[in-house]
Amino acid sequence: MENKFFFYIWRKKKIVIPIATIIAIIIIGILLVNLEKNRAYDTYRVISSVDSNDDGTFHYFKYKDGVVRYNPEGLSYYAGGKEIFNKAFQMTAPVIDVNGDYIVFGDRNTTNISLFDGEGKEYNITATCAVVGVTVSKKGVVAAILDDGTANYIELYDKEGVRLVSGRTVVEGDGYPVSIAISDDSEKLIASYLAVSEGKAHSKVVFYNYSSVGENEVDRVVGGFNQYEDTLVPKVKFINNTTAVAIGDEMFSIYSIDEKPELIYEDKVTEKIEKVFYSTEYIGMVLKDSQKAGNYIIKVYNQNGKMVCNKNTDFAIEGIRFAGNNVVVFNNAICQMYSFRGKNRFNNSFDARIIDIQPISDKQYIAIIEGKIEEIKLK
């Protein structure tokens, strides 16, 4: 009987010890992940570098694992310390959008649209009238705001330049389309209109659905929102396939749209909006602090409208980006990174003037500095 008792205790210990070990490993793993998420960095090392003759006419944006540099004469894509491809064109006033592997350039006030894929292949599209703005889906479908002098149009084109959709608007009726954005799957579009009634300008936001859902709707309109009575909405954007945002000068709205739109969150903004930035999960704003001259407030919301970051700073912000669950700010001399909780994880100056910073991850960046494009890793 005594042997059976000790055998029972031995078996229980054999079970308890592995479970305790597994729990300990999980706890240690969680602690290590949290430590890494909050780790502070002192400096950086250069992984790769390429010379860059920037004459001051270039602009930059993140593209895939690198950065695209462009001006009215063409574009170049850099990644891994080398130029992957470059394309020459002639545009007077380029307007651009990027989504996934696709980059679209429209030459404002002309009919010329150029679409580029991930291999650098160019597709030329001729619009039916003058280009005002462009946007592109992850499938390479281009949507454009067009103007023929008497009316405006929102038109969709495939890569080969075939017109898929055309919708006409007039200022006296619908208003003037200011900003549009197309969803990743090419099926949904959000548009901001500037309208005038009783001598007063105001905005409205309209959603279109180009799938079977919108077939029986007038002009494929599946939702309209007119609550922007005293607010102008100069920018709308899909941050992912089913979440769109409308940024006004005094308020912002977050919409969910699978088939038809639903207002998820909306808030008034009392401070002046200086900058707006996005990721596929978050919407960020830099506000001028009305209580303290020279200070800014960084606010970040998730796609459901929950505020996940609210940080005051006296840093002179010239550029701001998301890097995972962190915010990267920079000016021409210094780059800093804050966690959403406000912890300063990186604060460093560069040897040359900073032109732009584009995060690849929370600790790897493309740093465009005077004379060079460098891929750097924090350490």
In angstroms, the Cα distances linking 126 to 117, 120, 156, 181 are: 17, 19, 12, 20
pLDDT tens sequence across 55-85: 888 999 999 999 999 999 999 999 988 999 9
Considering the chain, what is the average pLDDT of its residues? 91
Q: What is the pTM of this model?
A: 0.88
Domain membership of residue 351 (yes or no) is no
Task: Tokens for 72, please give them.
Answer: 């009215």
Domain that holds residue 12: 1-37
Domain membership of residue 204 (yes or no) is no
> Any long-range contacts for 204-212 (C-beta under 8 Å, 24+ apart)?
204/175, 204/228, 205/233, 205/236, 205/246, 205/253, 205/255, 207/244, 207/255, 207/257, 207/260, 207/261, 208/154, 208/167, 209/259, 209/260, 210/156, 210/164, 210/165, 210/186, 211/187, 211/259
User: Are 158 and 177 a contacting pair, CB within 8 Å?
Assistant: no
Beta sheet of 273-278, edge-to-edge order: 273-278, 282-288, 296-302, 307-313
Domain membership of residue 4 (yes or no) is yes
Domain membership of residue 42 (yes or no) is no
- Measured CA to CA, the distance from residue 305 to residue 302 in angstroms comes to 5
- Measured CA to CA, the distance from residue 182 to residue 241 in angstroms comes to 9
Domain membership of residue 344 (yes or no) is no
| Residue 323 pLDDT | 96
Is the predicted pLDDT of residue 239 greater than 90, yes or no? yes
What total of structural domains would you count in the chain?
A: 1
Tell me the mean pLDDT in the region 252-271.
96
| Residue 174 pLDDT | 77
3: Cβ contacts below 8 Å, ≥ 6 apart: none
Cα 154 to chain centroid distance, Å, stands at: 22
What residues pair up with 86 in beta bridges, in sequence order?
76
pLDDT tens sequence across 1-49: 555 555 555 555 555 556 666 666 666 655 555 545 568 999 999 999 9
Domain membership of residue 350 (yes or no) is no
| Residue 197 pLDDT | 78
- Measured CA to CA, the distance from residue 307 to residue 294 in angstroms comes to 23
Q: Following DSSP, what letter does each residue of 113-169 receive, concatenated?
A: EEEE-TT--EEEEE-SSEEEEEEE-TT--EEEEEE-SS-EEEEEE-TT--EEEEEEE
Domain membership of residue 263 (yes or no) is no
Cα 90 to chain centroid distance, Å, stands at: 26
Tell me the mean pLDDT in the region 191-208.
90
Q: How many residues does the chain have?
A: 379
Local confidence band at 201 (pLDDT 50, 70, 90 cut-offs): confident
Which carries the bigger pLDDT value, residue 103 or residue 17? 103
Using only the alpha carbons of the chain, give its radius of gyration: 25
Domain membership of residue 15 (yes or no) is yes
| Residue 100 pLDDT | 97
